Amino acid sequence: MAQKPIEIILMRQLAGSLATPAFVVDEVGTLVYYNEPAERVLGMRFEETGEMPASEWTTRWQPADDRGVLIPPERLPLAIAVAQERPAHGEFSIQVANGRRHIAVTAIPLVGHNASVLGAAAFFWETGK
């Protein structure tokens, strides 16, 4: 793993101690970490996936709206948080090994001391739909 900004490293550390599923990406949207609670929702351990580019994680779990229409990657909360440098929220379903799970996601940009966006973190939970 290439050296990451301290803010990304600290977010990864914080995410590792949360009971809430968390997903962390860098400034270009590359997945750098998701925690154990996220592993349970996503159906795979981070050690199995490792880091992955946005082009992969935005389609791997096939996020879809309530009608079953796939959501374009740029409309996902994490992608919005990075690209538009603002918090974003959404609810949709994802495909996992044992079917679809409905989740709510809130993503926030991670900003460095010079006000540049260094990545984003998303916190999500199953909605039970």
Q: How many CA atoms lie within 13 A of 60 on its CB side?
A: 13
Identify the CA nearest to 80 among candidates 49, 40, 113, 121.
121
Q: Are 4 and 32 in contact (CB under 8 A)?
A: yes
Domain region containing 32: 6-126
Work out the widest C-alpha separation in the chain, in whole angstroms. 44
User: What percent of the chain shows pLDDT beyond 70?
Assistant: 98
* 41 domain-assigned: yes
**Six token digits for residue 59:** 């389609």
Residue 66 lies in a domain: yes
Residue 96 lies in a domain: yes
Torsion of Cα atoms, 97 then 45 then 36 then 21, to 10°: -50
Query: Residue 1: is its pLDDT beyond 70?
Result: no
Q: For the segment 21-44, what is each residue's pLDDT rounded down to a tens digit? A: 999 999 999 999 999 999 999 999
- The domain total for the chain is 1
> For residue 28, what is the domain's CATH number?
3.30.450.20
Domain presence at residue 1: no
pLDDT at 129: 74
